[in-house]
Structure 1
Amino acid sequence: MSPHSNLLIPRIGDESAVACSWERFLQDMPLPAVGVRNVVLDSWRRSRSEAVDPTTGSAPAADGDRIYQLRARSRDLYEAAKPVLETLREILRESGTLIMLSDPSGTILDLNGESRARDAGEQINLAPGGCWSEELIGTNAIGTTIATHQPVQIYASEHYCIDVKHWTCAAAPILDPLGKTLLGVVDVSGVKETFHGHTLGLVISAAKQIEGVLARRDAELHGRLLEHAMDGFSRYGNDCVVLFDQRGRIVKTSGSMQQAREMYGVRLPFEVGSQLTALDFAVHPDERIRQTPLWLRPEWLHPVRSRDGDLGTLLVIPTGNPHRPMVNTSTLAITATGDVFAEIIGTSQAISTAKARARRIAPLDLPVLLLGETGAGKEVFARAIHKASRKPEGPFIAVNCGALTRELLASELFGYSEGAFTGARRGGLPGKFEQADGGTLFLDEIGEMPLDMQPHLLRVLQDGVVVRLGDTRERKVAVRIVAATNRDLQADARAGRFREDLFHRLCVISLHLPPLRERPEDTEAIIGHLNQRLAQKYGCPPKSLDPEVLAHLLRYRWPGNTRELQNVFEAMFALSDGNRIDGTLLPPHIGAATVDSVLVNGGVMPAVAAGRLAEMERSVINAAVANARGNLSMAARNLGISRSTLYVKLAAMRESTKAGSLPLSLSPAP
């Protein structure tokens, strides 16, 4: 074996011998004992096994849309690498070389260098979009680094294809700090006269710097992810639980994977850092669907969210008790029939009409405007519409237009470039439109958007193009808009407080969501659902409610709608001792408002003075039935209870009357 065969850096003096060996290699003749390094010879063999044509003149190229998709998929790498490559460019400014970044497939994502070098590189497609894997263009530093996961320098005749042989290149792999998978390659290339052995050291150093930036970013994101996910690990302590980050990498595990394999056929590596493409947010939704393993059930997936969006995914495989129903408290679960709207609680005519219209709206790729009071469930409907759309696996991004200042809202929606303003993140940041590309953007409280920002939003909706703050580059986005408001936007448009053209663009289809007071018969079902869900959250059995408490909750008009009911009930649930919620936990304003809310025509009931709950209930029901002129459905609505509940109470009151209690009036009031 030649003493030169294991050299890391090529020897210029060996070029003639390498060229001779390459010719003999193509003719399948024995090679001389000196001249060709092992890393090069191994690459030649791989190139030949892939049937690479040595006369290929240039690398194939990806089209513009494909480059955009690949950059989006490698966004974290791209942002981490940019400042490092800028520094490398300064070091090599006068060297006549090109500095570039490729993704794991060998496609060049970014390239910098002087004009003459760029012009020369374009002749062989050493340019953005050029695909430099070994199986396409043979031996070269990018492709050979991808094949070996090792840094390599290739000089002149060591290349496999003829037209690349007047070049020299050095490349180093960028490895995932968590799982050591290949994220990309940093490369420096130039015509062979630019060769310098130190170039390999420079690209190795640059790759390590990029890995350090990614490692620090991962540590920060994983800290937030673990903080938001720890409750899930406690709640599902008897099951097999796996926490994935945004890129589908395993961050933490608990429980028995062996048991999950035996019970459900789960085939998942249990090592931290292993990746599941189906849970990688950067991958295109269609590709994620294709990569979803057959064993993975949708009901096992629990999004981990913060105010800034999705942080990762909690996979809960029920091994402790496989028959226990899984309750996904973070998002709507798709039922066996595939109807996500069935998970929205309520069977009243008002909510059933809203759900039926939403089902028809969901598959249409049109903007939707949700109209309803605060707390009526606009975001719940928006998520359901997204899940029932044609792109359910695409991202769902929510923005509250009323919770941010004008400047923050602009940067949140449209993103910004590096240096756009003081404190701007290095490398810039994509906005919510870019993050929602291929999915749904939910614009809550759209009526609160500042008037001078509305033309910018209108342009994106019309052209499907986003320009980041401080930038001139146009970025195409394909986003479905679901907006929501509790204001009368049409009246605001007439008054000049909201752009009329934007209103018509957003309100292609509208959906009215009824307030809870217009569907009181759903209140008891919502309370039952909350009871089950909170029992799951707090790890205890559902709690029983005193009849007094339930009666007050059913009669209250809930001006804050479902959100107010949820907050009130969770506070009572959490503060209750044992398994019972009694009247001491009832908020005073609800107890005080109950009787007033059902008084009709300002009448004062004698039973109120007596203060006895049973007599007060009889008086309230009598008054409601009398004022409804015997119409029990109307009486039930006025009382804030379901009709079936009213029938039960009336039957009990008849029995009490037979026993000599207070009389029951079912006749119209005189």
Structure 2
Amino acid sequence: MPFSQSGVLVPRSGDDPVVASAWERFLQHQPLVGEGVRSVVLASWQRSRSEAVDPARHAAPAAAAERVRQMQLQNRDLCDAARPALDSLRDILRECGTLIMLCDPGGTILQLNGETRARSVGEQVNLSTGGCWNEDVIGTNAIGTAIATGAPVQIHASEHFCLDVKRWTCAAAPVLDPLTRSLLGVVDVSGVKETFHGHTLGLVVTAARQIEGELARLDVTLHERLLARAIDHFIRYASDFVVLVDSRGRVLRSSGNAQAVMETHGVRLPLLQTGNQVPGLNLALSDAERGCQRAEWLRPEWLHLVKDHDATLGTMVVIPLRAQTNRTTLSPLTTATMSLGGNDPFGEIIGASEILAATKARARRIAPLDLPVLLLGETGAGKELFARALHRAGNRVEGPFVAVNCGALTRELLASELFGYNEGAFTGARRGGLRGKFEQADGGTLFLDEIGEMPLDMQPHLLRVLQDGIVVRLGDTRERHVSVRVIAATNRDLQNEIAARHFREDLYHRLCAVSLQLPPLRDRPGDIEAIIEHLNDKLARKYGCAPKRIEPAVYQALVSYRWPGNIRELQNAFEVMFALSEGSVIEVSLLPSSVAQVEGSIPIATSTASPAPISRLDDIERQAIVSAIASAHGNISMAARSLGISRSTLYVKLAAIQTQPGSSGSRA
């Protein structure tokens, strides 16, 4: 049979003379039939020739030092997330004479590590920081070919397109954005061809997955902060079309009349769908670069930066719809809650677990008391949902429900938001002044979210209003009487904050006439399936389609995950999956990497199905190795110690596993 390597993922060093001969015939435009050149390599050679890459090119082009510093700054999140994985690779390959690299999506090397001798040899072909290894400039190589194919690849010796690079062997894997699945960068391990080993590809794939897992974890944390800081904007601009975009320009949430936006401003709404990246809103870029990328329809006056202390977390795009009014009291969430909840004020709080039922029962008893309530619970546990339910079940249901996030505003802004101001109170004050949230909530309920974040010097002013029911606007002397029920919420331990003198004890007792502890989602896993079904129906109405069928494995993954961000994290994750699913089924492939728990694992196949009986000794050994590496989160040294073998022995066994039929090591 003809000799072909088209399906082989890892090259064989013994085939190098055959590949070298094929390369020479390829340059002479001779047909290659049964020449033993892997299909991924031949396709790359063809791309290199179509880009007119000179096979005699000596080295890759290099960016100037200042440009490299700019690129490192623009890719700071990627570099920070990659550091633990690259350090682990460096420890594993310390004695192997190889270089470990992290590249940007264009193939430029951002970070490089390795022994001095290997670095000196690499510099001869610009395999160094700032070198650009895209296929269109230096031909076939692991970095450029991984970018071109979007898949892990190992390129050995004569498989490279340019002559002076053929003394190298390299393996690379792409790093993808956890939300958009777009290319963020590439991890590469390179060395002179004598350092070739088949396990290198598995190592770089593992490192890339670990980086993606760390990026997903950081995204969850940052998005929680961003959503918490932005919630007041959604309420304030309830009559407009509002889009929340994170610091990398990715759409997290939108609200408003989409059809009106299209008709009024001609905005292309697919650009503003959840998960998409909006050009010109990547805050890692300079102002000039963002300005060049920004679409003409995206007006600068629509953009509002969302900040948390000194950090800028993202951008709120507020597209005005002037035909609509009433911006101050009720958000779209209120209307949705009232309609979906029916006659039961607590109907929107989904779940039938014992702990949730007890919490709701206590809330029903508290609601009509018209006393201040302090809601305690983790981030995303549903504190605002309970606050709205308490309002609807109380004696002030005909009055407004007004929410303010005490942690999202500076001291000065918080004072003006809560108490209002008179015309001329400060530079930029609105003509005619502004009613504060206490006045807006008069006769109804004021929800003070993140009360534990309120600045200490603001707390006496709040205490006075709670004690006397009197508000004095900034820049005014007139006292205004208000009748407001206050519901406050925090995820902090206020007793500890009082002990640390960060929170006033008298204010705590004024706010906490009665408290309600909300259970985290991990304490009521039996409710997750019902919440998912509710979200499925709700999102179907939002996107104008039928509810989607959810694969059983997706349910299992969602129920098994601990949800540190609670219901808010579940809602965000499921909405992304719903929006990204192209058909009528939500598949396992759409699971966020943090939920699928792929980070730090060696690329050997696992299955949720019941395992087949193990009867062979090598099967038992294989399972022990997989379990040890999983327990060590991909740390080879730790896994070897737990197995009682040396690291080099574990490498040999890993290489053997990856060549076994049916193992994902031969497919990764």
The answer as to whether partners of 1:300 and 1:326 remain within 8 angstroms in 2 is no
SS in 1 for 2:272: coil
SS in 2 for 1:269: helix
Distance 2:438 2:29 in 1: 69
The answer as to whether partners of 1:235 and 1:538 remain within 8 angstroms in 2 is no
Partner of 1:531: 433
Structure 1 pair 117–325 and aligned structure 2 pair: CA distance change class (3 A): farther
Spell out, residue by residue over 1:461-500, the C-alpha distance to the aligned partner (whole angstroms, 9 max, x if none): xxxxxxxxxxxxxxxxxxxxxxxxxxxxxxxxxxxxxxxx
Partner of 2:54: 53
The answer as to whether partners of 2:239 and 2:327 remain within 8 angstroms in 1 is no
Partner of 2:152: 151
Partner of 1:293: 295
Deviation at 1:324?
6.7
Distance 2:266 2:148 in 1: 32
SS in 1 for 2:137: helix
Partner of 1:182: 183
SS in 2 for 1:253: strand
SS in 1 for 2:151: coil
SS in 2 for 1:129: coil
Q: Calculate the TM-score normalised by the size of structure 2.
A: 0.51
Is the counterpart of residue 244 in structure 1 residue 139 in structure 2?
no
Distance 1:538 1:50 in 2: 65
Is the counterpart of residue 13 in structure 1 residue 31 in structure 2?
no
Deviation at 1:180?
1.0
SS in 1 for 2:278: strand
Distance 2:426 2:203 in 1: 68
- Aligned counterpart in structure 2 of residue 311 of structure 1, from 306, 310, 313: 313
Code of the residue aligned with 1:302 in structure 2: it is H
Distance 1:313 1:254 in 2: 14
Deviation at 1:537?
11
Is the counterpart of residue 585 in structure 1 residue 587 in structure 2?
no
Q: Structure 1 stretches of 5 or more lacking a match?
A: 328-443, 445-519, 541-562, 588-670
Spell out, residue by residue over 1:530-579, the C-alpha distance to the aligned partner (whole angstroms, 9 max, x if none): 73585899699xxxxxxxxxxxxxxxxxxxxxx9xx999x999x9779xx
Code of the residue aligned with 1:531 in structure 2: it is G
Partner of 1:204: 205
Distance 1:21 1:240 in 2: 59
Code of the residue aligned with 2:21 in structure 1: it is C
Structure 1 pair 521–22 and aligned structure 2 pair: CA distance change class (3 A): closer
Q: Calculate the TM-score normalised by the size of structure 1.
A: 0.50
Distance 1:276 1:124 in 2: 37
Structure 1 pair 12–524 and aligned structure 2 pair: CA distance change class (3 A): closer
Code of the residue aligned with 1:301 in structure 2: it is L
Distance 1:224 1:121 in 2: 42
Partner of 1:284: 286
Distance 1:18 1:141 in 2: 16
SS in 1 for 2:250: strand
Distance 1:250 1:96 in 2: 43
Spell out, residue by residue over 1:166-211, the C-alpha distance to the aligned partner (whole angstroms, 9 max, x if none): 1100001111111111111110000111110000000000111111
Partner of 1:274: 276
After superposition, residues 213-252 of structure 1 pair within 5 angstroms as 213-252=214-253
After superposition, residues 545-556 of structure 1 pair within 5 angstroms as none
Deviation at 1:236?
2.5
Deviation at 1:235?
2.5
After superposition, residues 81-480 of structure 1 pair within 5 angstroms as 81-267=82-268, 268-319=270-321, 321-322=322-323
Code of the residue aligned with 2:233 in structure 1: it is G
Distance 2:326 2:64 in 1: 47
Code of the residue aligned with 2:316 in structure 1: it is L
Code of the residue aligned with 2:139 in structure 1: it is G
Q: RMSD value over aligned CA atoms?
A: 3.7
The answer as to whether partners of 2:423 and 2:431 remain within 8 angstroms in 1 is no
After superposition, residues 615-654 of structure 1 pair within 5 angstroms as none
Distance 1:536 1:300 in 2: 28
Distance 2:277 2:324 in 1: 29
Deviation at 1:323?
7.6
Partner of 2:446: none
Distance 1:237 1:521 in 2: 24
Structure 1 pair 44–324 and aligned structure 2 pair: CA distance change class (3 A): farther
Spell out, residue by residue over 1:495-524, the C-alpha distance to the aligned partner (whole angstroms, 9 max, x if none): xxxxxxxxxxxxxxxxxxxxxxxxx99459
The answer as to whether partners of 2:101 and 2:188 remain within 8 angstroms in 1 is yes
Partner of 1:24: 25
SS in 2 for 1:29: coil
The answer as to whether partners of 1:257 and 1:270 remain within 8 angstroms in 2 is no
Distance 2:258 2:441 in 1: 23
The answer as to whether partners of 2:142 and 2:154 remain within 8 angstroms in 1 is yes
The answer as to whether partners of 1:74 and 1:103 remain within 8 angstroms in 2 is yes
Distance 2:45 2:428 in 1: 68
The answer as to whether partners of 2:141 and 2:170 remain within 8 angstroms in 1 is yes
Count of residues in Structure 1 that have an aligned counterpart in Structure 2: 369
Partner of 1:602: none
SS in 1 for 2:30: coil
Give the greater-gyration-radius structure (CA). 1
Structure 1 pair 318–40 and aligned structure 2 pair: CA distance change class (3 A): same
Structure 1 pair 196–225 and aligned structure 2 pair: CA distance change class (3 A): same
Structure 1 pair 141–528 and aligned structure 2 pair: CA distance change class (3 A): closer
Structure 1 pair 3–20 and aligned structure 2 pair: CA distance change class (3 A): closer
Structure 1 pair 527–176 and aligned structure 2 pair: CA distance change class (3 A): closer
Distance 1:77 1:201 in 2: 20
Distance 2:241 2:3 in 1: 54
Structure 1 pair 200–258 and aligned structure 2 pair: CA distance change class (3 A): farther
After superposition, residues 549-628 of structure 1 pair within 5 angstroms as 584-585=479-480
